[in-house]
Amino acid sequence: MEEWVKIDSFESQYQAEITKGYLEKNDVRAVILNAKDSLFLLGEYELYVNKDNEKKAQAILDEYKGITKVDSFVMRGPVERLKDVLEDNGISSQIKVSSNPRYALDNYELYVNNSDLKKAIPYVTGQALAGWSVAKTCTKVSQTRYRVEILNYHHIPSIVIKKRDTRYMKTEISIYVQDADLEKANDALESLAGYALIESVKDMQIAQIHEKTLANQGIRSLTEPGDNGVDVYVEADKTDEAKQIISDNKKWKLAATYSDKLEADYAVALLENFEIEAVTVAKSDITMAVDIDLFVEEFDLDDATDILKSLSVSENE
């Protein structure tokens, strides 16, 4: 550690990690050493930087200290409205724009003075947003953003609140609208005007795979709970393109091989009853004997194999 100098120390690991992240966001590498006594839990978490960056790090921390980020989103409007709520309740705040070359969109971050943090918490967690109600709760920023855009199209202002657990991990993102707009907002978000259903999948993990695949091709998608699992929607004018992209990106795995077409067709129908898509491919060898391979998507392979095994067992009994 000869090349490293202690720049600060903290009573909690959380404080140390937040400060470390702020330094690294400003291109200053930092490390944390746990100097607490393991038996009595005395001591502190110490933050170190390379000695060549000591002055730069200190200047960054001087600017950083005294404020705490309480909310952020990739659209300015919802953050501005939360700022207005804080200001109306005597809490000074400021918005900073954060850019990251890995992402196309800027992030708008809302900060309050540490002296006002306790007073601000009921508002930035949604508990004291009088006159505002939750219209929708999401788990991903992209899904939240698309819904805020739908509300904007209907001229419905919104506030976005990110809720976190005790480890400061994001657990859900809530979209608030004014009580007078709640019914209109619910109608807009339920109708998904301008979007069309392209597929229903059995769970959210598969829906998120489709979302990522489509996003990589510049197509935005929305996911909603459906009768058969999770429904995937895209902008109506992108329907055919989106279906083709999903089809082209499916990874098919061999689940079974049959010598009888009726057996293969029955297996396909059985899997469809379990919401598992299957396709068959017939092939012949030099003796003209025909085998029929049955394929399912990669993430359905284990379930399909179990179902087909149970079919084989019942036939043999």
For residue 130, the model assigns a pLDDT of: 94
CA 283, CA 253: separation in Å to the nearest integer? Answer: 16
The answer to whether 68 and 110 have CB atoms below 8 angstroms apart is: no
Q: How far is CA 161 from CA 6, 148, 280, 311, in A?
A: 35, 12, 47, 49
Integer Rg of the chain from CA: 27
CA 279, CA 17: separation in Å to the nearest integer? Answer: 50
**Angle at Cα 136 formed by Cα 113 and Cα 160, nearest 5°?**
20
For residue 41, the model assigns a pLDDT of: 45
Percent of the chain with pLDDT over 90: 42
For residue 82, the model assigns a pLDDT of: 97
For residue 315, the model assigns a pLDDT of: 54
Q: Which amino acid is at 182?
A: L
For residue 161, the model assigns a pLDDT of: 95
Extract the residue ranges of the chain whose pLDDT is less than 50: 37-42, 102, 166-168
pLDDT, tens only, 28-83 = 999 998 865 444 444 578 899 998 898 888 878 877 777 888 899 999 999 999 99
CA 35, CA 13: separation in Å to the nearest integer? Answer: 11
CA 47, CA 69: separation in Å to the nearest integer? Answer: 20
DSSP tag of 12: S
Sequence-distant (≥ 6) Cβ neighbours of residue 56 within 8 angstroms: 28
Structural domains of the chain ordered from first start: 4-64 (3.30.70.1530), 67-189 (no CATH), 194-248 (3.30.2130.10), 252-316 (3.30.70.1530)
Q: Which amino acid is at 113?
A: N
For residue 122, the model assigns a pLDDT of: 92
